[in-house]
Structure 1
Amino acid sequence: MRVDLGNALDTVAAPGVSRDALDRLDERVADAHERIEAGRENHEHGYAALNLPETTDADEIRTAVEPFADAETVLTVGIGGSALGAATLARGLDSDVDAYFLDNVDPEHVSALLDGISLSDTAINVVSRSGTTAETLANFLVVRDAMASEGVDWTERTFVTTGEDGNLRTLAERHDLPALAVPDGVPGRFSVLSTVGLACAAIQGRDIDAVLAGARAEVDRLAGSLFESPAYAYGAACYALDERGAGVNAMMPYAESLETFAEWFAQLWAESLGKDGLGQTPARALGATDQHSQLQLYRAGPRDKMVTFVRPADRDDRAIPETDLPGLEYLGGRNLGTLLDAEFGATEASLAASGRPNVRVEIDRIDEYGLGELCYGMEAACVLAGELYGVETFVQPAVEWGKRAARGLLGGGDFEEAEAVAEKTTLEVE
């Protein structure tokens, strides 16, 4: 992974960061790196996620999913970090095995998805660390009922990824289901490089060893200076730009296959850093599509944003046919990739010309190795930014508040958070 901060410097952008400011910040990066390394060495909660490239057992994952080698479809039932990491890999890589994700309880969506796949040819992976996640278990009960309606033995098509205790673990033991353990000390949004994110990729026939190898390459690049570590360079730059007013970070990959990666990044960044009145707001965009929808705001709106560009240096290409249509001759004989690269360069230059900060992140290619690099690099960047902000990166109290409120409303216990729902202020216009 390579990171270019040139268009984030104050000689280009406002807000921007001076080279002197980066030098000063680098002293804090060195201290943060020591704290991160100590956390990794002691396998502390959260920091243990940065050890996953070395601690994840790829053979264990392959063994667990071996009974589903005949699957034509894999359906992951999870939510948030229990689904987005796996979806990032699945949608970033081609496979003959289709992957779907039930990560919402919208009844129309759930029904349409289940009606559109053959459950007898589907491997079901139910993912919940606690084994009690309401949305996940509700969706699984619906899936199990749909399988019974089709005459499919759900126990033959299901495996679980969960913690040591909880409803899912009990279910797996009762029905002798294959089960993978969620790693200790790893929050869901940091779990893409574990059993949580890699099981789906393994069923799809992807090289999960290469994913972990790409991640290990980024582990080796972690150093006590932002000028020596691409991950730390990105995390430090985002923090510094936020401190100077760029409170929105628009993640804009220039590859259709990385659209879900932007969703994964949004959870990682928001849930980890949004505390104590601090943290950047992640926005999701896609190049070149959103040049025609969001770029106007980023170039000419409030100066409260930075744009992160992500692209591969190399990709498969497709020729544009020759044409004699007036004004389009310049396109004929070129390639779609050439056009996309031109769009990327023009957008990057457009933002720089208007003094809007942007950062370029590149990987060699969108493959298993490259996605391993990218995901690990962003996780390390996030942890580094959390150290600089001084927030508790690995907790999510605001999320837990909402979970308790919803559970109370459904009769799942006596939670005072549920009472706040009835106290809503209204101003209705009909």
Structure 2
Amino acid sequence: MRVDLGNALDTVASPGIPRDALDRLDERVADAHERIETGRENHEHGYESLNLPQTTDADEIRTAVESFADAETVLTVGIGGSALGAATLAHGLESDVDAYFLDNVDPEHVSSLLDSISLSDTAVNVVSRSGTTAETLANFLAVRDAMESDGVDWTEQTFVTTGEEGNLRNLAERHDLPALDVPDGVPGRFSVLSTVGLACAAIQGHDIDAVLSGAQAEANRLSGSLFDSPAYAYGTACYALDERGAGINAMMPYAESLETFAEWYAQLWAESLGKDGLGQTPVRALGATDQHSQLQLYRAGPRDKMVTFVRPTEREDCAIPETDLPGLEYLGGQNLGTLLDAEFEATEASLAESSQPSVRLEIDRVDEYGLGELLYCLEASCVLAGELYNVETFIQPAVEWGKRAARGLLGGGDFDEADSVADKSTLVIE
């Protein structure tokens, strides 16, 4: 895992980070690292997330899902951190087992998906720490009903990932369903390297030990200096650029398989750091696609953004056939990978030429080990940035407000937040 901060320095970019400012920030990084290590050693809530490469039991996960070895499809029912990590791995890695995710309650999408897959060949994983998440439980009830309508015994094809108590735990005990424990002290958005994110990968036949090994390699590089740790270097750069006006961070991977990774990052960054009027706004982009849609803004719009490039340096390639089409002869005999690399380098240089800051993150390959490195690096970067911002990284009070309001509207209790909905101001033009 490599992080290049060169195009984030003030010699290139505006806003940019003076080199001596990084040296000064390194003293704060040392203090933050000490706090992080204390939290890890004491297994404190949130900090425990960074211990997952060591504490996750891969054998336990494989044992729990071994009865689904013949599944042709795996359907994860969860929302937010209960789905995005698993989806990042599923979409980043190739498998003969299809993976789908019900992480929204759009009725047309849910109905369409359930109609399109063979439920008799599908393993269903229901993921909710509390066992009471409204969207997850509602979608699961729809899945269960669809299975029953198709004559499928849902109890033979369902397992749960949940906390020690709650509706899902009770359901698992009542119907003798396989159950995995959600790890203590790990917020959902930090749970990809646990039972939450790895069960789907195990069913798909991926090497979850390699995912954890990649993550552990990055954990071993955490140190008291940003100059020795890619994770801390990236977290520090994001914080420093935000402090200088780059309040928007566009995550732009140059690999189609990492598109869902950008979604995972957006939740991690927004939910963890967006507090007390602080935090960068994450934006999702995809190279080279969004060179033709978003790059105009990033290069020539307001100077309030940084771009994070993520790319693998090795990949399978595809040849471009020779052509006699006028003006396109130069493409013949090249490879798509060569073209994508040229697109990446041109975009990076384009931003630098216009003094827009960017940071480059590189892994060797989009494989289990590389994804483990990347996911852990971003989690540790986020925790480090939270220390520098001095925010409570591992809570999400604004999210909980909306949950209470929605539950009150549905008759699930008496919540003051629901009353606020009736106070909406209107200015309707028809």
Question: Shorter-chain TM-score: what band?
Answer: over 0.9
Question: Residue type of the partner of 1:59?
Answer: D
Structure 1 SS opposite 2:297: helix
1:309 aligned residue: 309
1:54 aligned residue: 54
Question: Which ranges in structure 2 are unaligned for 5 or more consecutive residues?
Answer: none
Structure 2 SS opposite 1:227: helix
Q: Residues of 2 paired with 1:7 and 1:397: CA distance?
A: 35
Question: Residue type of the partner of 1:309?
Answer: F
Q: Residues of 2 paired with 1:250 and 1:276: CA distance?
A: 21
Q: What is the CA-CA distance between 1:29 and the residue it aligns to?
A: 0.3
| TM-score normalised per structure 1 | 1.00
Structure 1 SS opposite 2:87: helix
Q: What is the CA-CA distance between 1:120 and the residue it aligns to?
A: 0.3
Q: What is the CA-CA distance between 1:188 and the residue it aligns to?
A: 0.1
Output aligned runs, 1:209-248, within 5 Å.
209-248=209-248
1:118-160 per-residue CA deviation (whole Å, 9 max, x = no partner) reads 0000000000000000000000000000000000000000000
Q: What is the CA-CA distance between 1:414 and the residue it aligns to?
A: 0.5
| TM-score normalised per structure 2 | 1.00
1:32 aligned residue: 32
Structure 2 SS opposite 1:21: helix
1:101 aligned residue: 101
1:74 aligned residue: 74
Q: Residues of 1 paired with 2:162 and 2:392: CA distance?
A: 24
How many residues get paired?
430
1:238-295 per-residue CA deviation (whole Å, 9 max, x = no partner) reads 0000000000000000000000000000000000000000000000000000000000
1:17 aligned residue: 17
Question: Which ranges in structure 1 are unaligned for 5 or more consecutive residues?
Answer: none
Output aligned runs, 1:394-413, within 5 Å.
394-413=394-413
Among all aligned residue pairs of Structure 1 and Structure 2, give the percentage whose two residues are the same amino acid.
Answer: 87
1:152 aligned residue: 152
Structure 1 SS opposite 2:387: helix
Q: Residues of 2 paired with 1:364 and 1:41: CA distance?
A: 31
1:45-65 per-residue CA deviation (whole Å, 9 max, x = no partner) reads 000000000000000000000
Q: What is the CA-CA distance between 1:308 and the residue it aligns to?
A: 0.1
Q: Residues of 1 paired with 2:410 and 2:336: CA distance?
A: 51
Q: What is the CA-CA distance between 1:28 and the residue it aligns to?
A: 0.1
Structure 1 SS opposite 2:108: helix
Structure 1 SS opposite 2:228: coil
Q: Residues of 2 paired with 1:62 and 1:413: CA distance?
A: 39
CA RMSD of aligned residues (A): 0.3
Structure 2 SS opposite 1:140: helix
Q: Residues of 1 paired with 2:99 and 2:421: CA distance?
A: 36
Question: Residue type of the partner of 1:332?
Answer: G
Question: Residue type of the partner of 1:233?
Answer: A
Output aligned runs, 1:82-161, within 5 Å.
82-161=82-161
Q: What is the CA-CA distance between 1:92 and the residue it aligns to?
A: 0.2
Q: What is the CA-CA distance between 1:407 and the residue it aligns to?
A: 0.3
Q: What stretches of structure 1 move > 4 A for 4+ residues in a row?
A: none
Q: What is the CA-CA distance between 1:116 and the residue it aligns to?
A: 0.4
Q: Residues of 1 paired with 2:227 and 2:342: CA distance?
A: 28
Question: Residue type of the partner of 1:234?
Answer: Y
Q: Residues of 1 paired with 2:400 and 2:169: CA distance?
A: 22
Q: Residues of 2 paired with 1:32 and 1:334: CA distance?
A: 47
Structure 1 SS opposite 2:345: helix
Question: Residue type of the partner of 1:352?
Answer: A
Structure 1 SS opposite 2:226: coil
Q: What is the CA-CA distance between 1:408 and the residue it aligns to?
A: 0.4
